[in-house]
Structure 1
Amino acid sequence: MTETQIEWQVTPGLTPYPEALAAMEARAEAIRKGEAPELVWLLEHPPLYTAGTSADPAELFNPQGFPVYDAGRGGRYTYHGPGQRVGYVMIDLARRGRDVRRFVHSLEGWLIAALAELGVEAFRAPGRIGIWVAHNGTEAKIGAIGVRVRRWVTLHGFSINVAPELSHFSGIVPCGIAEFPVTSLGEMGVSNGQTRFDLALKQGLDDFLFALEGATEKG
């Protein structure tokens, strides 16, 4: 399988969350039925919070009154907003190994490799979901991952903080982790981050698929 079998879609502007959720769920069902190709969909949302299936109301403060949506994905509260690259990854795991753990691991590796192309050394942190970097003498979260698998088709995906308003994260305990801050590519001095990140992500798509399918080498 190659990247040409996966549709790559980038939506400009800000996409309302309910609209994106409905489109994603419809597309996932079409993929399951064999009526549409798999999809990687990159977009941005207006400021909002999403609640995963493990969300704790005590971790939502929301002083600015942003909308809060039930996402249906795993995890807790997450912020989305302008300057953050959101990626919805709709993959048919029935065709690619039926291994949810491998999917999440491969997704993390894909993001880490893309950030490396921008000169950012990101990593996994044991016991803490998400994508992490060393910044200002501590570890900081630069990306979140939240997925759902329905009838072996994946929904939701990831968010990477390119240059969002970081103060908006103070309205929640991001992903239930209060001990560490969040950061962004902009805060780390990366210029033109979104364009460069999107390009690096697309260039790494085949490697993501090979990792997902457990291949040891290409070809």
Structure 2
Amino acid sequence: MKLKVRLLGDKVLYEPTWQAMKDFVEQRTEHTSDEIWLLEHQPVYTQGQAGKPEHVLFPGDIPVVQTDRGGQVTYHGPGQITAYFLLDIKRLGLGPRQLVDAIEQSLVSLLKRYDIEAYPKSDAPGVYVVERGMESKIASLGLRIRKGFSYHGLALNVDMDLEPFQRINPCGYAGMAMSQMTHFNATVRIKQVMDALSDELRSRLGYDSIEIFD
């Protein structure tokens, strides 16, 4: 099976991208190739289906969008890789939990390439690190499965302004510390990380080959 990876660039607006994902899922057939979209969003808070208004503390001038993914509130912005998974999970032979596990393990393997020790947690989706003795979240995860097709995905903090996370309870957890790759490795670059992430996901999800579009 071939995986298509689309590089959508930076400063990408959230709502048109969300609509494009829904359109893709609605129009795809059993013959449609799976795709992963990689991008950086303009600053935005997104509320998942489990999101509660009280977890958005003081968003200021950053828009808040109620969306249809799993999970609660998170922040997207420049310097963060967002990856959207447009996959036929039945064709891959995966259930929702197995897909989440595969994505989390891909992130753990990716971070290890940069000498960053990370781990998932069974009770809180995403990937975590220990920074200055404190558990911190470095990647968030929220998916939606519709008719056996996935959309939405992950957000990996690479080299960004983390201040907007202080204006929310990330993923519904008050005071959750957030981290990013440059706190551990100052040499990381977004494009290189995108390439490495694509490779990890291709391998972990079982694709034979990858085709990249930009």
The TM-score, its normalising length taken from structure 1, stands at 0.89
| 1:50 alignment partner in structure 2 | 46
Q: Tell me, yes or no, if structure 1 residue 15 matches structure 2 residue 31.
A: no
- CA distance in 2: counterparts of 1:154 and 1:190, whole angstroms: 33
| 1:207 alignment partner in structure 2 | 203
- CA distance in 2: counterparts of 1:74 and 1:180, whole angstroms: 18
- CA distance in 2: counterparts of 1:46 and 1:206, whole angstroms: 27
Taking the TM superposition and a 5 Å limit, the aligned residue runs for 1:39-188 are: 39-188=35-184
Compared CA separation, residues 204 and 50, structure 1 to 2 (3 A): same
- CA distance in 1: counterparts of 2:204 and 2:27, whole angstroms: 22
Compared CA separation, residues 163 and 73, structure 1 to 2 (3 A): same
The TM-score, its normalising length taken from structure 2, stands at 0.91
Report which structure shows greater RCO (CA 8 Å, sep ≥6). 2
Q: CA deviation at 1:128?
A: 2.1
Residue of 34, 42, 67 corresponding to 1:38: 34
- CA distance in 2: counterparts of 1:126 and 1:144, whole angstroms: 13
Runs (4+) off by over 3 Å? none
SS in structure 1 of the partner of residue 183 of structure 2:
coil
Residue of 24, 27, 42 corresponding to 2:24: 27
Q: CA deviation at 1:138?
A: 1.1
- CA distance in 1: counterparts of 2:11 and 2:112, whole angstroms: 27
SS in structure 1 of the partner of residue 184 of structure 2:
coil
Q: CA deviation at 1:46?
A: 0.8
- For structure 1, which segment, 22-31 or 51-60, has the greater mean C-alpha deviation from structure 2 after superposition? 22-31
Task: Tell me the number of residue pairs that the alignment of Structure 1 and Structure 2 aligns.
Answer: 207
Amino acid at match of 1:6: L
| 2:211 alignment partner in structure 1 | none
- CA distance in 2: counterparts of 1:67 and 1:9, whole angstroms: 25
Tell me, which stretches of 5 or more residues in structure 2 are unaligned? Answer: 208-214
Compared CA separation, residues 98 and 130, structure 1 to 2 (3 A): closer
Identity of matched residues, %: 30
Amino acid at match of 2:15: P
